[in-house]
Amino acid sequence: MKKLFTTLLLLSFVSFSYADAIRCGNRLAKTGDAKAYVIEVCGQPISEDLVSWENDIAVYHLTYKENGNLKVLIFKGGILTSIIDAKK
């Protein structure tokens, strides 16, 4: 719970722009990809938080760092639905 609060607090201090893909080395993870595939391509995230349940579907936020920027990957039902690029 403390980790979720900290993540939400940090996200409230940054401006957001939206993207639909994240580069992990020489590979790309994009919306529509499975959570297991993203973790295989990008490795373990900086943090992983179960944010909510929507109609019995788990919503997870996985946070990665790309080129100095934090990216929050949002998964619903194990599928990447959006990527938030948090810029300082």
pLDDT by residue (tens digit) across 64-74? 988 888 999 99
User: Which own/partner pairs from 40-48 qualify as long-range (CB within 8 Å, at least 24 positions apart)?
Assistant: 45/73, 46/70, 47/3, 47/7
> CA geometry: angle at 14 spanning 7 and 47, to 5°?
25
**pTM of the predicted structure, to 2 decimals:** 0.74
User: Residue 11 sits in which domain range?
Assistant: 2-87
Q: Is the pLDDT of residue 5 over 70?
A: no
Nearest to 73 by CA among 36, 38, 28, 37: 38
The CATH number of the domain where 65 resides is what?
A: 3.30.1450
Give the number of domains in the chain: 1
Mean pLDDT of 41-55: 94
Q: Where does the pLDDT of residue 17 fall: very low under 50, low under 70, confident under 90, or very high at 90 and above?
A: very low
Mean pLDDT of 7-32: 70
Q: Where does the pLDDT of residue 18 fall: very low under 50, low under 70, confident under 90, or very high at 90 and above?
A: very low
